[in-house]
A = this chain, B = another copy of it.
Amino acid sequence: MAVSNIRYGAGVTKEVGMDLQNMGAKNVCLMTDRNLSQLPPVQMALDSLVKNGINFKVYDNVRVEPTDRSFMEAIEFAKKGAFDAYVAVGGGSTIDTCKAANLYASSPHSDFLDYVSVPIGKGKPVSVPLKPLIAVPTTSGTGSETTGVAIFDYEPLKVKIGIGSRAIKPTLGLIDPLHTRHMPDRVVANSGFDVLCHALESYTALPYHMRSPCPSNPISRPAYQGSNPISDIWAVHALRIVAKYLKRAVRNPDDLEARSNMHLASAFAGIGFGNAGVHLCHGMSYPISGLVKTYKAKDYNVDHPLVPHGLSVVLTSPAVFTFTAQMFPERHLETAEILGADTRTARIADAGPVLADALRKLLLDLDVDDGLAAIGYSKADIPALVKGTLPQERVTKLSPRPQSEEDLSALFEASMKLY
């Protein structure tokens, strides 16, 4: 179990220049997206670089929900720049793009698919040394600052896939609650749903000793190794924070206590799922995001249709946990209780429905779209959604309950309408 270094506190972003200097960096790449590039988090980081006399170039062409093409552009930039360190200021899209740029610039003769997860890529282990990467998250969801995973839309197949290797884990995450004040409420909600599902999925994932195959050489073992005694601690702790603070954080941008706690919960859940993995909500979310038609999420300032990652993940959660609860029902019931369900009289056989009800109640309270139908999908799309889920075996095989294509189809269908 590997865990990144993180530093938490209001204003820690101002220390990034000193950290880079301490690392001996002389030529730094700062990655961000266009919207953020004009906002305080990036400005604070740039000021710190200037103040510490660090040479840098800014790449602000990160795509929100990146693609193989947008990854490649960032990689080209990184290769040309011959940087000796990276700083990613942004949400998961920015941090993931920066991980990919660092990886391929450090391994310039690799084909893009070499490090992409099987079955679409070759899933080669990373043996080249990477440059230091400092991640400064500005959303409270992905936990990407703590994980060895980078996710993107693979356009040739219209499906989201990933690169997963401990090697791409950021050297340091600077968790700065000051960056949470400017998030619009839907960004807080959707990124919070990502935290919620990271916690729920990693806690209910197949236990590490039941996962197979178990490659004899440790370097060949996946970053996602199944639930384990360490990830369990993080998952439960993150879930408790979500239960306590998510609604407050969404509803009141001035509730710094709630927003700070969600920012920390994002990292905590990241440490958990970064070791344990996620399963069906995430596996099924990738086609939901990847096959988006015209849906444009409120509060996201982008020039293309977009189902935000956290939304695409959470919409199937009631159906997924109803399906998985027959394995490890106690854990499902425990999480329902943490989310506020009264489980005193619940039967263990009802663990799935009890958790699903708790989730539906939370989503309704937070004005979430009423299922996949509300974001533009119909029954006719299910075969394509299932087809897009099949290549996600990196995560779907961590589901505690194996699933057939028919099962996936039924899960999508059950997720069309929630309330």
Contacts and interface: CB of A to CB of B under 8 A. Distances in A.
A217 B21 CA distance: 10
A8 B18 contact: no
Nearest to A241: B229
Contact of A217 (B18, B228, B229): B18
Contacts of A264: 229
Given A2-B5, A233-B268, 13 more contacts: A1-B6, A1-B7, A1-B8, A7-B218, A8-B228, A9-B209, A15-B218, A18-B218, A19-B218, A22-B127, A22-B217, A22-B218, A230-B268
A58 interface: no
A-B pairs, top 3 by smallest CB distance, nearest first, are A3-B3, A2-B5, A22-B219
A211 interface: no
B229 A8 contact: yes
Interface string A1-32: 11111111100000100110010000000000
Contacts of A1: 5-8
Contact of A233 (B5, B7, B15, B233): B233
Nearest to A18: B217
A5 B274 CA distance: 13
A18 B216 CA distance: 9
Interface residues of A, number: 27
A264 to B, nearest CB: 6
B237 A233 contact: yes
A237 B233 CA distance: 8
A111 to B, nearest CB: 22
A233 B219 CA distance: 29
Interface string A176-201: 00000000000000000000000000
Interface string A191-232: 000000000000000000100000011110000000011100
A140 to B, nearest CB: 15
Contacts of A5: 1-3
A15 B221 CA distance: 12
Contacts of A19: 218-219
